[in-house]
Amino acid sequence: MAEAERIIGTPDTPDAARPGQEGPGGDTAPGRRSGAGSAGADGPAAPEDGPRADGPADPAAADGPAEPAGAAGRSPAPAERPRGRRRIAVLFTVAAFAYALDLISKLIVVAKLENHAPVRILGDWLRLEAIRNAGAAFSFGEAYTVIFTVIAAAVIVVITRLARKLYSLPWAIALGLLLGGALGNLTDRIFRAPGVFEGAVVDFIAPEHFAVFNLADSAIVCGGILIVLLSFRGLDPDGTVHRD
């Protein structure tokens, strides 16, 4: 009997009732778990899921703040190319200068040269002669005065709207020349005889073997040539360059 009690133990044995005491075979007492999560004899047990005393549970937390969700493995978006300042002031300054120069020259020509003999500048190679042109530049299409008036007005509207996206200095100069020339000839078509939108443009520069033209025509042609050159170079009005 004593031998059986020694093997299975008795419930009223003081050592068997002590919490955390190992029983026979190395098992802990019922209701307690072995390991770091169980309470020791000298204090309360640490929470099983809480932070460890020797450092953070997540290795990534030791290096700094975690990345936002979905950012891992994603390359940063390329920075937008700086385009500099808008060139609206340059556009309208060039346009105002071309327009003023054309307007003043026509006023002088009408007052001093109209109904007078041509003034020779370089012999027969270049002379100043006042004529009225109802057509387009270089006396082309005199039967379509109203159509050319509408086209000039449309060009002015398009250039003005394009100014909001204008960051290129060469484009600002080119468009300013176009705008000033279009305004100069449009002024003639609106305010000169024979009537509104049918007025004849004042031309006075007469090279030999070439059509007579004015400063507004010159500004339009120069602006158009500059735009063609810029397009061949791949430069856009917003300042970007295409390398094809």
CA 9, CA 151: separation in Å to the nearest integer? Answer: 113
CA dihedral for 43, 45, 47, 48, sign (positive or negative)? positive
Candidate list 15, 203, 236, 238, residue with the active-site label = 203
Known catalytic membership, residue 124: no
CB neighbourhood size of 27 (10 A): 9
What's the number of CA atoms in the CB half-sphere (13 Å) around residue 46? Answer: 8
Known catalytic membership, residue 49: no
Helix (H, G, I), strand (E, B) or coil at 94: helix
CA 199, CA 188: separation in Å to the nearest integer? Answer: 6
Candidate list 12, 217, 238, 244, residue with the active-site label = 217
CA 91, CA 164: separation in Å to the nearest integer? Answer: 11
Catalytic residues: 203, 217
